Amino acid sequence: KKKDDSLFDEALELIKKKNALLIAHYYTSDTMQRLCEAAGGFIGDSLEMARVGRDSDKNLLLVAGVRFMGETAKILSPDKTVIMPDLKAECSLDLCCDVEDLKRMKSLHPEATVVAYANTSAQVKAQSDWIVTSSLAVELGKYLTKQGKPILWVPDRHLGSYIAAQSDCEIYCWPGRCIVHDSFEENALDFVKKENPNALVLVHPEAPASVVAKADYVGSTSQILNFAKKSEAKEFIIGTEKHIFYKLMQACPDKKFIEAPVVSSAGHCISCANCPWMGLNTLESLIRALNNPESHGVNVEENIRLGALKPLDRMLSFSA
- The reply on whether position 236 binds ligand SF4 by CB under 6 A is no
- The reply on whether position 91 binds ligand SF4 by CB under 6 A is yes
Instruction: For ligand SF4, give the closer residue by CB, 164 or 206.
Output: 206
Q: How many C-beta neighbours within 10 Å does residue 96 have?
A: 20
Length of the chain: 320
For the segment 259-278, give every residue that binds ligand SF4 (CB under 6 A): 275, 277-278
User: Which does residue 133 bind out of ligand 13P, ligand SF4, none, counting CB within 5 to 8 angstroms by kind?
Assistant: ligand 13P
CB 215 within 8 A of CB 181: no
φ, ψ for residue 318, nearest 5 deg: -60, -35
CB 152 within 8 A of CB 127: no
- The reply on whether position 47 binds ligand SF4 by CB under 6 A is no
132-140, 147-155, 195-203, 297-305 -> range binding ligand 13P (CB under 6 A):
132-140
Integer Rg of the chain from CA? 19
Scanning the chain, the segments in alpha helix (DSSP H) are 2-17, 30-38, 46-55, 67-76, 92-95, 99-108, 122-126, 137-146, 157-167, 186-195, 209-212, 221-230, 245-251, 283-291, 302-319
309's CB contacts (< 8 A; 6+ apart) are 75, 76
- The reply on whether position 144 binds ligand 13P by CB under 6 A is no
- The reply on whether position 180 binds ligand SF4 by CB under 6 A is yes
CA 217 – CA 16 distance, rounded (Å) = 39
DSSP, collapsed to helix, strand or coil, labels residue 124 as helix
Site pattern 280..319 for ligand SF4 (x: CB under 6 A): ----------------------------------------
Distances (CA, A) of 8 to 30, 69, 104, 188, 230: 12, 23, 47, 38, 33
For the segment 166-195, give every residue that binds ligand 13P (CB under 6 A): 178
User: Which does residue 157 bind out of ligand 13P, ligand SF4, none, counting CB within 5 to 8 angstroms by kind?
Assistant: none
127-135, 145-153, 208-216, 305-313 -> range binding ligand 13P (CB under 6 A):
127-135
Closest to 151 (Cα-Cα) out of 101, 116, 102 = 116
CA-angle at 29, arms to 131 and 246, nearest 5°: 90
Choose, by CB under 6 A, the member of 33, 81, 92, 127 that binds ligand SF4.
92
CA 181 – CA 203 distance, rounded (Å) = 9
Choose, by CB under 6 A, the member of 62, 206, 285, 298 that binds ligand 13P.
206
For the segment 159-178, give every residue that binds ligand SF4 (CB under 6 A): 178
Site pattern 44..83 for ligand 13P (x: CB under 6 A): -xxx------------------------------------
For the segment 10-49, give every residue that binds ligand 13P (CB under 6 A): 45-47
Instruction: For ligand 13P, give the closer residue by CB, 25 or 296.
Output: 25
User: Which does residue 221 bind out of ligand 13P, ligand SF4, none, counting CB within 5 to 8 angstroms by kind?
Assistant: ligand 13P
DSSP, collapsed to helix, strand or coil, labels residue 75 as helix
Residues that bind ligand SF4 (CB under 6 A): 27, 66, 91-93, 119, 178-181, 206, 241, 275, 277-278
Residues that bind ligand 13P (CB under 6 A): 45-47, 119, 133-135, 178, 204, 206, 220-221
